[in-house]
Amino acid sequence: MTTPPNRVTPPSNPALMIATAAFLEQGRILDRLSRLLTAAAVILLPLLALLAPQMRSETWNVTAGGLGLAIALGLAELYFAFRVGFDAALFRELAAGSALTGLDQLDASLTWLGLRPKTAGARPLDDRIGGARKLLRRQALCLALQLATMIVATGILALQ
């Protein structure tokens, strides 16, 4: 039996877990860029305070607020980077079949560590992959907002 051309044959679970882990590991690139932007905002904010007496108050407020928001978005991105990295490692181990031999064993371990509620039911692999992809999208959104905030803040400062 052949698969019609418009339908994709579902991969085996190990192949799907390997592909998911490889995809999630790309979140490290997003995290590195976000850390650079966060460091730049942390450095610029005190320097901006030195220039405050020479600036209009509106310019100071908007620029300082933008840099503060960029720092907050960097912290949010860091949280999502942690979660995405954790999921990538779990998917990689599940695919390898080393110590974790299935989702039930993973759930029991996460529950024992306090990372999963005891009352949570079983989740199929597709739902877990969807949740991990959602975390990566949120990480990317935090980075995009952080970058836009930094561009606006430094643009306003440059136009001052």
pLDDT digits (tens, 9 = 90+) for 120-154: 888 888 999 999 999 999 999 999 999 999 999 99
pLDDT digits (tens, 9 = 90+) for 29-78: 999 999 999 999 999 999 998 988 888 888 889 999 999 999 999 999 99
Q: Which DSSP state fits 4?
A: -
Residue 81 — pLDDT band, cuts 50, 70, 90? very high
Cα distance between residue 68 and residue 61, in whole Å: 10
Q: Which whole-number Å values give the CA distances from 25 to 64, 84, 88, 101, 137, in the listed order?
A: 33, 8, 6, 21, 13
**pLDDT at residue 11 is higher than 70:** no
Q: Where are the domains of the chain?
A: 13-159
Q: Give the model's pLDDT for residue 53.
A: 83
pLDDT digits (tens, 9 = 90+) for 94-109: 888 766 667 888 888 8
